[in-house]
Amino acid sequence: MRRLASITLIAVLAWFVEAAALGDYFRVTYTIDRSGPREIRLIGRIFNTTSRDAVNVQLRVQALDAAGNVLTEPPAFVDRLVQARSEGYWEASLGPDPRISGFRVVVVGYKFRIQGP
């Protein structure tokens, strides 16, 4: 039983370290466009703070209610390449829902481009 608890604790700590590292490499900003009657659009930027180009950057966009519960996770589309010390653009759309009081956007995946000699 102790072994299972130790393995679980290690896995949880590894997840937190990985999430913290993602936050160190990227900064995400966005604006909310509610002007359309049939959709809410999030239009954002992602800043790559490293000295290496990032490709295949994946975001998780979550629409939240007032209690912080996730109502929906619309797909987010990010530029294919986010150059070193530069910014890329992303967008997500979802239907209007009066329960939505906020959003959470986090980087969940990426790869750094390896440059040859």
Task: Please list the ranges in the chain whose pLDDT falls under 50.
Answer: 4-5, 8-9, 11-13, 15-20
Which amino acid is it at 59?
L
Q: What is the Cα–Cα distance from 97 to 99, expressed in whole angstroms?
A: 5
Query: How many structural domains comprise the chain?
Result: 1
Does residue 33 lie within any of the structural domains?
A: yes
| pLDDT given at position 114 | 83
Domain span including residue 103:
26-112
| pLDDT given at position 115 | 73
Does residue 16 lie within any of the structural domains?
A: no
